[in-house]
Amino acid sequence: MTVNGIDIASYQSTDYSTSGLDFVLVKATEGSSYVNPKHAAQVATGRAHGLVVGHYHFARPGSMTAQADYFLAHCGAQAGDVLAFDWEDTGVPGADKDAWLRHVQAKAPEHRVILYCNRDFWLHRDSTSFCADGLWIADPSAPEGHPRVEHPWLFHQYSSAGGLDRNVGNFASPGALRAWAGKGPAPRYEPFPGAGWFTLGRRSPIVAAMHDRLVAAGCDHYTSTADKDVIGSGDVASYEAWQRKYNAAHHKGWTGSALKWPPGKETWDALHVPNV
């Protein structure tokens, strides 16, 4: 898994760091009378940096229909945004959880709708295993990406260190997450993940797919196929060879750093790394 994100609320900054992130889940509303005053600005930061955006509602005892409608009226969801129900209040029974999720699915069928809860709620308070389009499970005592639940999960909130909730998504790539969130087919080729994504030591199936495409393009500067899903010196040399080849073939006139690692969007798109 290579899809990383955070979830934030009003006590976090509006200009939070997005380095290394693929998604952000922002608190929008609570009950039927509270709106996060930083929600719009926090969402705007995520959008500006190309993150998949989600909005969540912190449920309180009361009418689930009223709370769901209040959430939908204030979250400002756009195409491709994820909608989430935050189930933490012990006064909200499982039946109400199901009611909120089903109401939002019916009112916003173009969006993915998911359930957030901790492991105790999922194992001891839930009785239906209903989580709409997927489960976002909080289990900070478990290793990253290994929450202690048997049910399939989409997001794992694995750490709250430093006052920031960190999450990992159970998706093969950022492109796969974006395709899922948009309720559309996965793209044929892997979207450019951003220059900052290409760090030495990163492990991802995207890296293995890139390796194979560079070899096929005649830019094989690898000394081994071992750990080909991990970015190493062979990837750097091979991709720089691809940039030189592309530069010459398309008469770009690039020099210096334009021909160096990390990859750029134009050459990445031209490499046609298949979606994984």
Radius of gyration for the chain, computed over Cα atoms and rounded to the nearest angstrom:
21
Residue 193 contacts residue 178 (beta carbons within 8 Å): no
Is 7 one of the catalytic residues?
yes
Residue type, 175: G
| Residue 229 annotated among the catalytic residues of the structure | no
**Annotated active-site residue in 15, 88, 120, 212:** 88
Choosing from 7, 86, 165, 190, the catalytic residue is: 7
Active site residues: 7, 88
